[in-house]
Every structure is written in C-alpha cells, then in structure tokens.
Amino acid sequence: SLLVIDWLGFNIERLRRGFPGTFSLKTILMLAEQMLTTIEGVHAEGFVYRDIKPDIFAMGLLFLFDMGLSGLYLDPDTGSHMPFRDGRASLGTPSFSSSPFEPHMHT
C-alpha cells in the first residue's frame, strides 16, 4: 500500500533543535492549543494516541501523523470503554509518556 500526502513541514522537535534557547511562551501556548485540539479530534473518533512527542506534530497547520501505535479505546459495538489489560508490553515513547510511566495503564 502507498499513501501520498502533502509535505507537512518541519516537525516541532526539529524546529526546537534548530532554534537557540527556547520557544516563547506565546509560541508554546499556540502549539499546545493546536496539539490538544488535534488529540481531542483523534479521541472523538474513538482512538487513543499512544506515541505523543514533538516529532509527530508538523508545523504550519498542525498535523498529527504516525498512527502506528494508536488503537481503539471504545468498543465499536457497545460504545463502552475497553477494559484495561495487564501484562502487555509498554507502548509509545517513555520520555513522553505519562509520569510515572505505568505500562499496565495502556490498552
């Protein structure tokens, strides 16, 4: 299979490394608003995104990509939350995961 999309621009991590110092508070707040809106959109479609990190957000109009570790969190038949399952391997990037990182919390 092949997916062709527009060039999305640089990701936030690449831009962060390219700028000396830090982003301004205004930039951080603008990015945070777009990130949260994007994640809420994914969540509204019934998916939980398991690999949030600066590398997966492209600049410009903010895009979220690399859905490889995402998965449904609502049962498509009942609409109820899928049960948590212990004993599964951790998913995502630990340095950007919830703190403390608890692998058993992922479905």
Residue 49 has pLDDT above 60, yes or no: yes
64-94 residue pLDDT tens: 778 888 888 899 999 999 887 777 777 777 7
Number of folded domains that form the chain? 1
SS3 of 66-89: CCCCCEECECCCCCCECCCCCCCC
Which CATH number fits the domain that encloses residue 52?
1.10.510.10
pLDDT the model gives residue 107: 47
Asked if residue 24 has pLDDT above 50, the reply is yes
pLDDT of residue 103: 52
Residue 3 belongs to some domain of the structure = no
Does residue 20 sit within a domain?
Answer: yes
Which pLDDT score is estimated for 65? Answer: 78
pLDDT at 102 (0 to 100):
52
More confident residue, 43 or 101: 43
Q: Is pLDDT at 62 greater than 80 in this prediction? A: no
83 domain residue, yes or no: yes
pTM above 0.75, yes or no: no
Taking residues 36-48, what's their average pLDDT? 92
Q: Is 51 a catalytic residue?
A: yes
- 22 within domain boundaries: yes
Q: Please indicate, yes or no, if residue 26 is contained in any of the structural domains.
A: yes
Domain range enclosing 68: 12-105
Position 29 scores a pLDDT of 94
Q: What is the widest separation between alpha-carbon atoms in the chain?
A: 50
Residue 71: HSE in the Cβ half-sphere, 13 Å Cα cutoff: 11
| Catalytic annotation, pick one of 51, 55, 75, 77 | 51
Question: Has residue 7 been placed in a domain?
Answer: no
